[in-house]
Amino acid sequence: MLVDDARRIAAAIEERLNASACQGAKATVKSDQMSPKTVPAGAGRPTFTSYYIQIDDGTRMATLTLGQAAKLVDDVEPDWDQDRLFEAIRALNVPVEDTN
């Protein structure tokens, strides 16, 4: 299931971050649920769930798709600091928000 993939990717990113100079940055699973406004008569209302990985260092936050997050896992190096982490996230064309 996608939720299991999301949890596995978040754990792998967190492990890489903790082994680097990015200690303090967190990777968590975020989900968004959506139901269609209209459904055919007699049909149940389905709920669609999308999963994302949210990376936060206390001052910045980015939300990555599972594909983007999986790529980031392979890129994180032990000598990366938090600035380098968010540079790599921006290179994936993911917006980075200030949380202050």
Q: What is the DSSP letter of 61?
A: E
Q: Name the pairing type of β-strands 26-34 and 48-56.
A: antiparallel
Tokens of 55: 């990376």
Residue whose token pair is 């149940």: 44
Instruction: Give this prediction's pTM.
Output: 0.86
Per the rule left: phi > 0, alpha: psi between -120 and 50, beta: everything else, 58 is: left
- pLDDT tens, position by position, 14-46: 999 988 888 889 999 999 999 888 888 888 888
